[in-house]
Amino acid sequence: MVSLPHEELGHRLGEPRFELNTGWSRTLKRQLAILDFILIATAIIAAHVLRFGTETDVPVSARSFTDVDYSTLGVAIGAIWWLSLGAWNTRDVRFLGAGFDEYKRVTTASLSVFGMLAIVSYAVQAETARGYVGIALPLGLFLLLVGRWAFRKRIRTARSSGKYNRRVLVIGGLDAVQHLASRLADDPGAGYLPIGGVIPSAELRDAAESGVEIIGTGNSLESILCALESSGADTVAISAGSALSPVVVRKLGWELHARGITMIMAPALTDIAGPRIHTQPVAGLPLIHVATPQLEGIKRVAKRCSDIVFASIGLLLLSPVLLVVAILIKIDDPGPVFFQQRRIGKNGDPFRMHKFRSMVVDAEARLAELELQSEGNGVLFKLKNDPRITKLGAFMRRYSIDELPQLWNVVVGEMSLVGPRPPLPSEVETYEEHVHRRLMVTPGITGLWQVSGRSDLSWDDSVRLDLYYVENWSLTQDLIIMLKTAKAVFGKSGAY
């Protein structure tokens, strides 16, 4: 690494060399602004046509004024709506491609516009047509959210091919740099491309085996700026073990700001969702509060109620399908229709899990001879071309039809629609201590790891995702997982 004198370094880096808000970031913002304009205009025009037809001079009924029509009102609402999306930073590149912040901001901005419309209407005693507002708001919000979702899909695809990425220089201890770099690399769609790290000089001897390119060493401002100069990074992430003093961090922030480079603080808070993290400024320090997992209370009651309602409706609507499947199983292979297996549920309580039988009758007896052929992850047995699976069973497993009887397990409270996979007793016996936290919630028919890789995840990744769900679960996340489950079931790979 080339070492530059501090004076020469300041001269060379004194003017902004890297600017995040140039090039692709400005292009994305411009594209989003155009997309928002089109979608808002569509919603406003649709609301007008559906409520008033093709008339353009329908007056707004108001005691304070009589010369405003709905065409003018629509233009005003559309303009304020579009500006509100910008004011709420919904087009900020920080929120594009990952997380739910973008969707929350779009929703909040939209609701604030129509909340303001309601207040103004009351103040001037205007009787705004309920049908007009009742169409414009939900239609516009729906179009905006779907549009953002489609835009996000396009961005994530482009980022996976190397476009629209931030080049991240990670500063911290070797383990922290390695961990953060690997996690960022695991999600290329988020747009953070780790290009190397800066570690303490004492850890340099162990860096060769870390798999991370070390661009610089030391904890001084000069060493970091040299690494920044040689790497061409446009984002700096400071993680645990950096040993940077508060003074150096503050000066680094000034230097990065002058160069248009983003600084990210990445504390060692692994697999903790945003709702559990709260920042409180105290004595000039941004203290991060991490809330404990909420596993009981009103949310638990709401989850149980939704399980009962949706599982009961599912059983009722799918009863003809269940009957047909039962008949086909009997025709395909003589034996019982259902397969019942002892599983471990919440708090370690055993229960009988129900499935449509997709294997031959003596499948359990033949398991031992196939153990050595397992393609699973070391704990779970998986075999893509399992000879025990019947012809109909292969089809049922591909589309998870064999799991449908578990809706009854949900109704009686032994399972939930969404949760960690219910393990076998033999699997629980192999659990490390921390893995037992999977049993703190009711197991589910589908879960986070099922929609994150189906049958292809390693055991460690499966455990990590299940524990993430246990400690960060919410009804919103459950809904998202169920929607992703449908996509995973009918996707190209399915399950086996």
Chunked in runs of 10, what are the mean pLDDT values of the chain (496 residues)?
A: 39 41 80 96 94 80 66 90 94 82 92 90 78 91 94 90 89 88 85 89 76 84 90 88 85 89 80 69 74 73 92 94 92 87 92 91 67 54 71 86 93 93 89 86 88 68 83 83 81 54
Structural tokens at position 104 = 């929350």
In Å, what is the CA distance from 156 to each residue of 174, 234, 264, 270, 397? 29, 19, 21, 23, 30
Cα 176 to Cα 131: distance, rounded to the nearest angstrom:
55
Q: Can you give the pLDDT at residue 294?
A: 67
Cβ pair 407, 314 in contact under 8 A? yes
Q: Can you give the pLDDT at residue 6?
A: 38
Q: What are phi and psi of 50, to 5 degrees?
A: -70, -30
Q: Is 127 left (phi over 0), alpha (psi -120 to 50) or beta?
A: beta
Q: Can you give the pLDDT at residue 17?
A: 40
Cβ pair 379, 393 in contact under 8 A? no
Report helix, strand or coil for 278: strand
In Å, what is the CA distance from 378 to each residue of 330, 389, 463? 34, 21, 12
Q: Can you give the pLDDT at residue 42?
A: 96
Q: Can you give the pLDDT at residue 16?
A: 40
Cα 449 to Cα 212: distance, rounded to the nearest angstrom:
27
The model carries a pTM of 0.69
The one-letter amino acid code at 199 reads I
- Domains of the chain in start order, with CATH, are 24-160 (no CATH), 165-268 (3.40.50.2000), 298-489 (no CATH)
Q: Can you give the pLDDT at residue 13?
A: 39
Report helix, strand or coil for 389: strand
Cβ pair 431, 470 in contact under 8 A? no
Cα 358 to Cα 364: distance, rounded to the nearest angstrom:
12
Q: Can you give the pLDDT at residue 492?
A: 55
In Å, what is the CA distance from 51 to each residue of 136, 142, 262? 10, 18, 47
Cα 482 to Cα 308: distance, rounded to the nearest angstrom:
15
β pairing state of 61-62 and 444-446? unpaired
> Burial level of 132, CB count in 10 A (0-12/13-18/19+)?
buried
Q: Can you give the pLDDT at residue 349?
A: 93
